[in-house]
């Protein structure tokens, strides 16, 4: 597939309702219709509760959409729960494989302490990083047994938030099954240079989330000690790709020339207009970047 064909979107803004997700059949159909109308051919896909992978795949196909890598989160910091978390990752990988997708994002769940004070690496622990790395590698091995690559997805508000933690997990799992699935917005909000981090681990990137950052809003959030919930919902720190200040062209250039993974647009809540407006703007801005215009020649 070409790069353009591997450009997907997370349907989150279309499905959010209050503090949760509306995963009713009616909402899914309406959301996927809008996503297809916005020009996308693939969707970040996680099988909703009560649906089978084949049923979900058929729903996507009815709107001309294909599944792209979804997301699995777990408490990898809790050794006593490791067996259950690894088994959960295996089941998620099996459903992913049944959808026909060979990659999934994998992440440490968020925690209350860092939700309250995000992006500063509160209460750091090298021991915790080691514990999480071991659990994530075991989960990646379980996913690999199902034919799926698990890619580490650092997330603000979790115990894998700042650069020492991201690099720590990647270093401790070097040579194993765990790959890398960065999110440009989360890396930047937590003080990292997404271009440098992607460049340093370019051979391990299996898929990437593309979101932009309103750096003025992010600076205000950090100065005021705003919670992650308010930072994303009230301050709207995330922006559509190309509508913020990140060097997304540089990130894409940092990937290997033969990179064949997925590019997933993710904007938790629209910075500009409706979810449909946001989806159109994101796609248009990305397709105007050299990595995608050259691919179209």
Segment (H or E) for 215: helix 215-224
Q: What is the pLDDT of residues 34-93, one digit of tens each?
A: 999 999 999 999 999 999 999 999 999 999 999 999 999 999 999 999 999 999 999 999
Residue 127 contacts by C-beta under 8 Å, 6 or more apart in sequence? none
Residue 163: pLDDT band with limits 50, 70, 90: very high
Query: Do residues 6 and 42 make contact, with C-beta atoms less than 8 angstroms apart?
Result: yes
pLDDT(106) > 70: yes
The pLDDT of residue 20: 87
Q: Are 176 and 141 in contact (CB under 8 A)?
A: yes
Pairwise CA distance, residues 161 & 84, whole Å: 23
Domain locations along the chain: 4-295
Q: State both tokens at 55.
A: 């049923």
pTM: 0.97
> How many angstroms separate the Cα of 110 from the Cα of each of 3, 103, 114, 217?
31, 22, 7, 21
Q: State how far the Cα of 248 lies from the Cα of 130, in Å rounded to an integer.
A: 31
Mean pLDDT, residues 93-103: 98
User: DSSP character for 106?
Assistant: E
Distance CA 91, CA 26 (A): 26
Q: Give the per-residue pLDDT at 296.
A: 60
- Superfamily (CATH) of domain 4-295: Divalent-metal-dependent TIM barrel enzymes (3.20.20.150)
Give 236-266 pLDDT, tens digit per residue: 999 999 999 999 999 999 999 999 999 999 9
pLDDT of the residue at 214: 98
pLDDT over 90 (residue 233): yes
CB 229 within 8 A of CB 240: no
pLDDT of residue 44: 97
Output the CA–CA distances (angstroms, integers) from residue 247 to 43, 190, 209, 253, 289, in the order listed.
24, 16, 14, 10, 11
Q: Specify the residue for token string 């765990």.
A: 178
Classified as helix, coil or strand, 295 is helix
Sequence-distant (6+) residues with CB within 8 A of 50 are: none
């Amino acid at each position: 597939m070409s790069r353009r064909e591997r450009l997907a979107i997370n349907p989150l803004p279309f499905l959010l309702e209050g503090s949760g997700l509306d995963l009713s059949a009616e909402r899914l159909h309406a959301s996927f219709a809008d996503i297809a109308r916005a020009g996308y051919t693939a969707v970040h896909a996680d099988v909703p509760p009560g649906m089978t992978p084949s049923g979900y795949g058929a729903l996507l196909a009815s709107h001309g959409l294909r599944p792209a890598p979804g997301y699995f989160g777990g408490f990898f910091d809790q050794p006593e729960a490791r067996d259950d978390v690894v088994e959960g990752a295996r089941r998620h990988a099996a459903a992913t494989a049944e959808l026909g997708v060979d990659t999934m994002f994998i992440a440490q769940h968020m925690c209350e302490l860092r939700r309250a004070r995000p992006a500063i690496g509160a209460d750091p622990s090298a021991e915790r990083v080691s514990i999480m790395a071991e659990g994530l590698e075991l989960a990646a091995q379980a996913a690999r047994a199902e034919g799926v690559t698990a890619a580490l997805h650092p997330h603000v508000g979790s115990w894998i938030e700042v650069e020492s933690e991201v690099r720590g997990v990647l270093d401790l799992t070097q040579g194993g099954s765990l790959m890398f699935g960065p999110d440009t917005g989360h890396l930047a909000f937590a003080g990292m240079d997404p271009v440098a981090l992607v460049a340093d681990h370019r051979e391990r990137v299996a898929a990437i989330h593309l979101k932009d950052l309103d750096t003025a809003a992010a600076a205000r959030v950090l100065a005021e000690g705003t919670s992650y919930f308010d930072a994303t919902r009230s301050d709207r720190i995330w922006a559509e790709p190309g509508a913020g200040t990140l060097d997304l062209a540089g990130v894409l250039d940092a990937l290997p020339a033969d990179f064949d993974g997925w590019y997933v647009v993710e904007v938790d809540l629209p910075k500009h207009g409706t979810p449909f407006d946001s989806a159109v703007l994101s796609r248009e801005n990305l397709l105007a970047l050299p990595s995608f215009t050259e691919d179209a020649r």
